[in-house]
Amino acid sequence: MLKYTIRRLLGMIPMLILISIVVFTLAKLMPGDSLSGEIDPLNTNPEYIAEMREKLGYNEPLPVQYFDWITGFLQGDFGKSTRFKVPVADVIIEKIPNTLFLGVMSLLITYILAFLMGMYSGRKPYTIGDNAIAGVNYIMLAIPSFVAAVFAIYFFSFHLNWFPFGGSVDILVEEGTLDYWFSRLHHVLLPALVLGAMSTASYTQFLRNDIIENSRKDFVRTARAKGTPLKKIYNVHILRNSIIPLVTFLGFDFAALIGGAIITETIFTYPGIGQLFLDSVTSRDYPTLMALTMLLSFLTLAGNLIADILYGIVDPRIRLD
């Protein structure tokens, strides 16, 4: 397992180099640059601007600029955010806890809902309940998250006043107190519900189909012949088999956990990675944008690796070495 992991990690290196070239090129291809964010905004003297452009390396050939960026990146220097004037790493690290909190909450909601619905549907396929679950799931899947988020804010925050409109915490509460954590939970709940409840479809339907398929397998008949109660057959024998393909999704989820939800975070003005990403695009904060894209690429690769390792754990037929 360790050997396999190391081999896979080494295999990521060429992939990441390629990604970095693409990310850098795309950033450079975009119209405009972040020069204006790095110079004195009050000095409009063309000579000053030309001098700064030369000094900051904007006139160097692209390969040289790439090389400068990537060497700094490898040494842990992600550059300076042209918007916040602080190192990119600081900006990102500041946002990660919020996003992680939202990600974990929404994922928990997805898992709980999807497992309950999937197991019910799988056990009673083609019934009214199953069809209702499928209907609700597909409607949720079809509704764009920005529509759902706006409606959720309108009903639950504006009309019912159950949840705050946005932000991650009430500014009046003192940090570290119980009230503070309670307030954070209160703020995260609505975006988490929107995110979590909207994305149950794939898990639910996948689990349902796999349970139906497995319930026709010979080993189920064997378990029945042993006198195992039907409930235990579904909850142990079949479920344990049906979890295996779901591990694939888990890999994607891992990247989403830190990558954040761009649209939902923006609508709820929830200060996380997703919102930072969008703001970096609109304010041409390319160092932050490139660092974030690299981070997401790495997380996706890492998520796939984690999924593959998990396969080896949940499925005894797969041995990694």
Question: What is the contact surface with another protein in residues (CB under 8 A)?
Answer: 217-219, 221-230, 237, 240-241, 244, 314-317
- What is the residue whose two structure tokens read 């790495």? 298
Minimum distance from CB of 226 to another protein (Å)? 4
In the bound state with another protein, the residue whose beta carbon lies nearer, of 113 and 223, is: 223
- C-beta of residue 283 within 8 angstroms of C-beta of residue 274: no
Q: How far is CA 283 from each of CA 29, 58, 129, rounded to the nearest angstrom?
A: 16, 18, 49
Planar angle of CA 144, 150, 155, nearest 5 degrees: 125
Minimum distance from CB of 231 to another protein (Å)? 11
Minimum distance from CB of 120 to another protein (Å)? 16
**Residues in CB range of 272: below 8 A, 6 or more apart:** 95, 98, 99, 102, 168, 260, 261, 265
Minimum distance from CB of 160 to another protein (Å)? 44
Q: How far apart are CA 262 and CA 167, in angstroms?
A: 14
Question: Which DSSP category does 45 fall into?
Answer: -
In the bound state with another protein, the residue whose beta carbon lies nearer, of 159 and 319, is: 319
In the bound state with another protein, the residue whose beta carbon lies nearer, of 172 and 225, is: 225
Minimum distance from CB of 123 to another protein (Å)? 11
Minimum distance from CB of 310 to another protein (Å)? 13
Planar angle of CA 147, 120, 108, nearest 5 degrees: 50
Minimum distance from CB of 307 to another protein (Å)? 17
Residue whose C-alpha is closest to residue 265's, from 276, 254, 280, 281: 276
In the bound state with another protein, the residue whose beta carbon lies nearer, of 199 and 241, is: 241
Quote the distance between the C-alpha of residue 15 and its chain's center. 20
Q: How many CB atoms lie within 10 A of CB 252?
A: 15
Please return the burial class of 134, using the count of CB atoms within 10 Å of its CB with bins 0-12, 13-18 and 19+.
middle
In the bound state with another protein, the residue whose beta carbon lies nearer, of 28 and 124, is: 124
